[in-house]
Amino acid sequence: MVTRRTTAYQLDKQLKHTQLELNTSRASCEHLLQKREDSEKEILQISKYNYERFRVTNDKTLVVVGRPPVDESRPVTRRRLGRVRRCVAALSLLSM
């Protein structure tokens, strides 16, 4: 037979457990929101840097601001330019 005291004790125990879960969930949520905000700031900084540093001309070629044209005949240069072009394309998709 369950007495009122036992039922009250069980309910109190369940309430404390639920409160602990709620506090844990809040802390986790705040942590995730902070991480998201930090990531957004980092993406904006990278995007700003790339916008200031690189320009895409009308014929879809990539130009580095403040540098002479790059000799694209070298294999290493072609690989690096390919990486930069992919990064610029990804950033342009993010800014849409």
3-class secondary structure, 26: helix
- DSSP state string for 37-67: HHHHHHHHHHHHHHHHHEEE-TTS-EEETTS
**pTM of whole model > 0.75?**
no
Q: What is the tens place of the pLDDT at every residue in 48-91? A: 887 777 776 666 666 777 766 656 666 767 777 778 888 888 77
Check residue 95 and report its DSSP letter. Answer: T
CB 65 within 8 A of CB 53: yes
| Residue listed under structure tokens 């995007």 | 47
At residue 56, what are phi and psi to the nearest 5 degrees? -105, 125
Domain map (residue ranges) of the chain: 4-94
Q: What is the tens place of the pLDDT at every residue in 17-54? A: 999 999 999 999 999 999 999 999 998 888 888 777 77
